[in-house]
Amino acid sequence: MDWKSRRITTLLEAALLEDKAANDITTALTVDPSLRATATIVAKQPCMVAGIGCISAFLSLFGKMKPAGRFEVVSHPEIFDGVRVKKGQAIAVIRANAASILSTERVILNLMQRMSGIATLTSEYVQAVAKAKSKTKILDTRKTIPGLRALDKYAVCCGGGLNHRLDLQDGILIKNNHIALGGGLPLVLEHALAGRKAGQIVQVEVRTPAELEQAIAGHAESILLDNMTPKEVAKALKLIRAKLPKAKVEASGNMSLKTVPAYAKTGVDFISVGALTHSATAVDLSMKITADLQ
Protein backbone atom coordinates (compact mmCIF):
# COMPACT_ATOMS: atom_id res chain seq x y z
CA MET A 1 0.00 0.00 0.00
CA ASP A 2 1.51 3.35 -1.04
CA TRP A 3 1.48 6.47 1.13
CA LYS A 4 -1.54 7.95 -0.63
CA SER A 5 -3.57 4.79 -0.04
CA ARG A 6 -2.51 4.71 3.61
CA ARG A 7 -3.51 8.34 4.02
CA ILE A 8 -6.98 7.69 2.57
CA THR A 9 -7.45 4.53 4.65
CA THR A 10 -6.57 6.48 7.80
CA LEU A 11 -9.04 9.20 6.81
CA LEU A 12 -11.88 6.70 6.28
CA GLU A 13 -11.12 4.91 9.54
CA ALA A 14 -11.25 8.25 11.36
CA ALA A 15 -14.68 8.98 9.86
CA LEU A 16 -16.06 5.63 11.09
CA LEU A 17 -14.55 6.13 14.54
CA GLU A 18 -15.90 9.68 14.76
CA ASP A 19 -19.41 8.40 14.05
CA LYS A 20 -18.99 5.41 16.41
CA ALA A 21 -20.21 3.26 13.52
CA ALA A 22 -19.32 0.00 15.26
CA ASN A 23 -21.44 1.03 18.25
CA ASP A 24 -24.62 2.05 16.41
CA ILE A 25 -27.06 1.62 19.31
CA THR A 26 -30.20 2.40 17.32
CA THR A 27 -29.52 -0.26 14.69
CA ALA A 28 -28.46 -2.79 17.36
CA LEU A 29 -31.80 -2.38 19.16
CA THR A 30 -34.09 -2.33 16.13
CA VAL A 31 -32.70 -4.47 13.30
CA ASP A 32 -32.17 -8.24 13.14
CA PRO A 33 -28.37 -8.70 13.01
CA SER A 34 -28.74 -11.47 10.43
CA LEU A 35 -30.90 -9.46 8.04
CA ARG A 36 -29.48 -8.84 4.56
CA ALA A 37 -30.43 -5.74 2.57
CA THR A 38 -29.92 -3.92 -0.70
CA ALA A 39 -29.14 -0.19 -0.77
CA THR A 40 -29.18 2.05 -3.84
CA ILE A 41 -27.36 5.38 -3.89
CA VAL A 42 -29.37 7.81 -6.02
CA ALA A 43 -28.48 11.25 -7.39
CA LYS A 44 -31.21 13.73 -6.44
CA GLN A 45 -29.78 16.34 -8.80
CA PRO A 46 -27.63 16.37 -11.95
CA CYS A 47 -23.98 16.07 -10.91
CA MET A 48 -20.51 14.76 -11.65
CA VAL A 49 -19.84 11.58 -9.66
CA ALA A 50 -16.78 11.15 -7.42
CA GLY A 51 -16.00 8.78 -4.56
CA ILE A 52 -17.55 5.49 -5.69
CA GLY A 53 -14.47 3.60 -4.51
CA CYS A 54 -15.02 4.85 -0.96
CA ILE A 55 -18.16 2.71 -0.62
CA SER A 56 -16.31 -0.62 -0.67
CA ALA A 57 -13.48 0.85 1.41
CA PHE A 58 -15.87 1.97 4.16
CA LEU A 59 -17.67 -1.39 4.26
CA SER A 60 -14.38 -3.28 4.32
CA LEU A 61 -13.02 -1.17 7.17
CA PHE A 62 -16.31 -1.49 9.07
CA GLY A 63 -16.09 -5.28 8.74
CA LYS A 64 -12.73 -5.19 10.52
CA MET A 65 -14.27 -3.20 13.38
CA LYS A 66 -17.38 -5.36 13.65
CA PRO A 67 -17.83 -8.63 11.71
CA ALA A 68 -20.58 -8.03 9.15
CA GLY A 69 -20.19 -10.81 6.60
CA ARG A 70 -19.85 -10.48 2.85
CA PHE A 71 -20.81 -7.41 0.86
CA GLU A 72 -20.99 -6.44 -2.79
CA VAL A 73 -20.96 -3.01 -4.44
CA VAL A 74 -22.04 -2.87 -8.06
CA SER A 75 -22.74 -0.09 -10.54
CA HIS A 76 -23.64 0.16 -14.19
CA PRO A 77 -20.52 -0.04 -16.42
CA GLU A 78 -21.24 3.50 -17.62
CA ILE A 79 -21.22 4.89 -14.07
CA PHE A 80 -17.79 5.67 -12.63
CA ASP A 81 -15.92 8.58 -11.06
CA GLY A 82 -15.87 11.54 -13.43
CA VAL A 83 -19.15 10.70 -15.16
CA ARG A 84 -22.10 13.10 -15.18
CA VAL A 85 -25.41 11.62 -14.04
CA LYS A 86 -29.00 12.83 -14.22
CA LYS A 87 -31.44 13.51 -11.41
CA GLY A 88 -32.90 10.22 -10.20
CA GLN A 89 -30.12 8.09 -11.67
CA ALA A 90 -28.73 5.22 -9.60
CA ILE A 91 -25.02 5.55 -8.89
CA ALA A 92 -24.27 2.30 -7.06
CA VAL A 93 -26.01 -0.66 -5.43
CA ILE A 94 -24.84 -2.23 -2.17
CA ARG A 95 -25.77 -5.76 -1.12
CA ALA A 96 -24.70 -6.46 2.44
CA ASN A 97 -25.71 -7.06 6.01
CA ALA A 98 -28.47 -4.54 6.77
CA ALA A 99 -26.83 -3.37 10.00
CA SER A 100 -23.52 -2.63 8.27
CA ILE A 101 -25.32 -0.56 5.63
CA LEU A 102 -27.23 1.45 8.23
CA SER A 103 -24.11 2.04 10.33
CA THR A 104 -22.02 3.30 7.41
CA GLU A 105 -24.77 5.11 5.48
CA ARG A 106 -23.99 8.61 6.73
CA VAL A 107 -20.21 8.51 6.32
CA ILE A 108 -20.57 7.09 2.79
CA LEU A 109 -23.05 9.77 1.76
CA ASN A 110 -21.18 12.61 3.48
CA LEU A 111 -17.97 11.86 1.62
CA MET A 112 -19.55 11.15 -1.75
CA GLN A 113 -21.71 14.29 -1.53
CA ARG A 114 -18.66 16.46 -0.85
CA MET A 115 -16.47 14.81 -3.47
CA SER A 116 -19.20 14.89 -6.10
CA GLY A 117 -19.85 18.56 -5.27
CA ILE A 118 -16.18 19.39 -5.86
CA ALA A 119 -16.12 17.40 -9.10
CA THR A 120 -19.30 19.09 -10.31
CA LEU A 121 -18.05 22.60 -9.59
CA THR A 122 -14.68 21.85 -11.17
CA SER A 123 -16.38 20.62 -14.34
CA GLU A 124 -18.28 23.92 -14.54
CA TYR A 125 -15.00 25.85 -14.48
CA VAL A 126 -13.47 23.53 -17.07
CA GLN A 127 -16.51 24.03 -19.31
CA ALA A 128 -16.36 27.81 -18.84
CA VAL A 129 -12.76 27.79 -20.10
CA ALA A 130 -13.67 25.51 -23.01
CA LYS A 131 -16.49 27.85 -24.05
CA ALA A 132 -13.95 30.67 -24.09
CA LYS A 133 -12.07 28.59 -26.69
CA SER A 134 -8.99 28.53 -24.49
CA LYS A 135 -6.45 25.80 -23.70
CA THR A 136 -5.93 27.15 -20.17
CA LYS A 137 -6.04 24.45 -17.49
CA ILE A 138 -7.93 24.77 -14.19
CA LEU A 139 -5.88 24.10 -11.04
CA ASP A 140 -6.92 23.55 -7.45
CA THR A 141 -5.11 24.98 -4.38
CA ARG A 142 -4.26 23.88 -0.83
CA LYS A 143 -7.48 25.49 0.43
CA THR A 144 -8.94 22.15 1.43
CA ILE A 145 -10.64 20.78 4.55
CA PRO A 146 -7.86 19.64 6.93
CA GLY A 147 -7.46 15.88 6.60
CA LEU A 148 -9.50 15.62 3.40
CA ARG A 149 -6.96 16.99 0.94
CA ALA A 150 -6.17 13.73 -0.86
CA LEU A 151 -9.84 13.10 -1.59
CA ASP A 152 -10.63 16.76 -2.33
CA LYS A 153 -7.86 16.86 -4.92
CA TYR A 154 -8.90 13.52 -6.39
CA ALA A 155 -12.41 14.93 -6.82
CA VAL A 156 -10.96 17.92 -8.70
CA CYS A 157 -9.38 15.49 -11.17
CA CYS A 158 -12.73 13.72 -11.55
CA GLY A 159 -14.17 17.07 -12.64
CA GLY A 160 -11.47 17.61 -15.26
CA GLY A 161 -9.20 19.90 -13.26
CA LEU A 162 -5.53 19.47 -12.38
CA ASN A 163 -3.79 19.41 -9.01
CA HIS A 164 -1.40 22.11 -7.86
CA ARG A 165 0.82 21.25 -4.88
CA LEU A 166 -0.41 18.39 -2.71
CA ASP A 167 1.47 19.75 0.29
CA LEU A 168 4.33 22.08 1.24
CA GLN A 169 6.96 19.51 0.27
CA ASP A 170 5.46 18.95 -3.16
CA GLY A 171 6.70 22.12 -4.85
CA ILE A 172 8.39 25.50 -4.41
CA LEU A 173 6.01 28.47 -4.46
CA ILE A 174 7.40 31.78 -3.25
CA LYS A 175 4.51 33.88 -1.97
CA ASN A 176 4.26 37.44 -0.67
CA ASN A 177 5.03 36.54 2.94
CA HIS A 178 8.16 34.63 1.93
CA ILE A 179 9.24 37.74 0.03
CA ALA A 180 8.50 40.03 2.98
CA LEU A 181 10.25 37.84 5.54
CA GLY A 182 13.09 36.58 3.36
CA GLY A 183 14.65 39.88 2.34
CA GLY A 184 12.85 40.72 -0.89
CA LEU A 185 11.97 38.91 -4.09
CA PRO A 186 15.42 38.90 -5.75
CA LEU A 187 17.07 37.38 -2.68
CA VAL A 188 14.46 34.69 -1.92
CA LEU A 189 14.31 33.70 -5.59
CA GLU A 190 18.10 33.39 -5.72
CA HIS A 191 18.11 31.21 -2.59
CA ALA A 192 15.30 28.99 -3.90
CA LEU A 193 16.97 28.43 -7.28
CA ALA A 194 20.30 27.65 -5.62
CA GLY A 195 18.89 25.30 -2.99
CA ARG A 196 16.19 23.40 -4.86
CA LYS A 197 16.57 19.72 -5.68
CA ALA A 198 17.04 18.46 -9.22
CA GLY A 199 13.81 18.63 -11.19
CA GLN A 200 12.06 21.07 -8.86
CA ILE A 201 10.47 24.12 -10.50
CA VAL A 202 10.60 27.45 -8.68
CA GLN A 203 7.36 29.43 -8.94
CA VAL A 204 7.02 33.03 -7.79
CA GLU A 205 3.82 34.88 -6.92
CA VAL A 206 3.83 38.49 -8.13
CA ARG A 207 1.25 41.21 -7.48
CA THR A 208 2.79 44.32 -9.05
CA PRO A 209 4.70 45.31 -12.21
CA ALA A 210 7.80 45.86 -10.07
CA GLU A 211 7.65 42.32 -8.65
CA LEU A 212 7.09 40.97 -12.15
CA GLU A 213 10.23 42.70 -13.40
CA GLN A 214 12.19 41.23 -10.48
CA ALA A 215 10.84 37.72 -11.12
CA ILE A 216 11.79 37.95 -14.79
CA ALA A 217 15.25 39.35 -13.98
CA GLY A 218 15.79 36.49 -11.52
CA HIS A 219 14.80 33.90 -14.13
CA ALA A 220 11.78 32.49 -12.33
CA GLU A 221 10.67 29.26 -14.00
CA SER A 222 6.98 29.75 -13.28
CA ILE A 223 5.14 32.96 -12.45
CA LEU A 224 1.83 33.29 -10.64
CA LEU A 225 0.00 36.55 -11.38
CA ASP A 226 -2.06 37.20 -8.26
CA ASN A 227 -5.13 39.44 -8.01
CA MET A 228 -4.58 41.18 -11.33
CA THR A 229 -7.31 42.19 -13.77
CA PRO A 230 -7.56 40.32 -17.10
CA LYS A 231 -6.08 43.37 -18.81
CA GLU A 232 -3.12 43.41 -16.40
CA VAL A 233 -2.64 39.66 -16.83
CA ALA A 234 -2.58 40.01 -20.63
CA LYS A 235 0.03 42.76 -20.40
CA ALA A 236 2.17 40.79 -17.95
CA LEU A 237 1.88 37.64 -20.04
CA LYS A 238 3.14 39.45 -23.14
CA LEU A 239 6.22 40.59 -21.22
CA ILE A 240 6.88 37.13 -19.77
CA ARG A 241 6.54 35.42 -23.14
CA ALA A 242 9.05 37.86 -24.65
CA LYS A 243 11.69 37.47 -21.94
CA LEU A 244 11.04 34.01 -20.43
CA PRO A 245 9.37 32.04 -23.24
CA LYS A 246 9.65 28.71 -21.40
CA ALA A 247 8.13 29.94 -18.13
CA LYS A 248 4.67 28.70 -17.20
CA VAL A 249 2.19 31.42 -16.22
CA GLU A 250 -0.68 31.07 -13.78
CA ALA A 251 -3.41 33.52 -12.80
CA SER A 252 -5.11 33.45 -9.41
CA GLY A 253 -7.13 35.52 -6.98
CA ASN A 254 -10.88 35.35 -6.26
CA MET A 255 -11.70 33.57 -9.50
CA SER A 256 -15.38 32.91 -10.25
CA LEU A 257 -17.38 31.29 -13.03
CA LYS A 258 -18.21 34.78 -14.30
CA THR A 259 -14.63 36.04 -14.42
CA VAL A 260 -12.65 32.94 -15.38
CA PRO A 261 -13.45 33.12 -19.15
CA ALA A 262 -11.84 36.55 -19.43
CA TYR A 263 -8.68 35.30 -17.73
CA ALA A 264 -8.63 32.19 -19.91
CA LYS A 265 -8.78 34.33 -23.05
CA THR A 266 -5.50 36.02 -22.06
CA GLY A 267 -3.68 32.78 -22.87
CA VAL A 268 -2.26 31.93 -19.44
CA ASP A 269 -1.26 28.30 -18.96
CA PHE A 270 -3.20 27.85 -15.73
CA ILE A 271 -5.87 29.42 -13.56
CA SER A 272 -5.95 28.34 -9.92
CA VAL A 273 -9.32 28.41 -8.18
CA GLY A 274 -9.53 28.05 -4.40
CA ALA A 275 -13.32 27.87 -4.58
CA LEU A 276 -13.13 24.38 -6.08
CA THR A 277 -12.46 22.95 -2.64
CA HIS A 278 -13.27 25.67 -0.11
CA SER A 279 -16.67 26.67 -1.49
CA ALA A 280 -18.08 23.68 -3.40
CA THR A 281 -21.65 22.83 -2.39
CA ALA A 282 -22.28 19.18 -1.57
CA VAL A 283 -24.55 17.51 -4.09
CA ASP A 284 -27.78 15.87 -2.95
CA LEU A 285 -27.47 12.08 -2.81
CA SER A 286 -29.73 9.62 -1.01
CA MET A 287 -29.57 5.96 -0.04
CA LYS A 288 -32.68 3.81 -0.43
CA ILE A 289 -32.48 0.58 1.60
CA THR A 290 -34.77 -2.44 1.31
CA ALA A 291 -34.68 -5.78 3.09
CA ASP A 292 -33.74 -8.78 0.95
CA LEU A 293 -36.32 -11.56 0.71
CA GLN A 294 -35.36 -14.51 2.88
The dihedrals phi and psi of 290, each to the nearest 5 degrees, come to: -130, 145
Q: Please state, in angstroms and rounded to a whole number, the distance separating the CA atoms of residues 33 and 177.
A: 57
Q: Is 259 exposed, middle or buried (0-12, 13-18, 19+ CB in 10 A)?
A: middle
Q: Cβ distance 188 to 182 under 8 Å?
A: yes
Rg (CA), the chain: 23
Q: Please state, in angstroms and rounded to a whole number, the distance separating the CA atoms of residues 16 and 171.
A: 32
- Residue 223's beta-bridge partner residues? 204, 249
| Catalytic positions | 106, 143, 175, 205, 226
Contacts of 226 (CB under 8 A, 6+ apart): 176, 205, 206, 207, 252, 253
Which run of H or E residues covers position 38?
strand 36-43
Q: Cβ distance 207 to 233 under 8 Å?
A: no
The DSSP string of 140-178 is --S---TT-HHHHHHHHHHTT-B---SSTTS-EEE-HHH
At 145, the amino acid letter reads: I
At 54, the amino acid letter reads: C
How would you label 32-64 residue by residue, b for 16+ Cβ within 10 Å and e otherwise? eeeebbbbebbbeeebbbbbbebbebbbebbbe
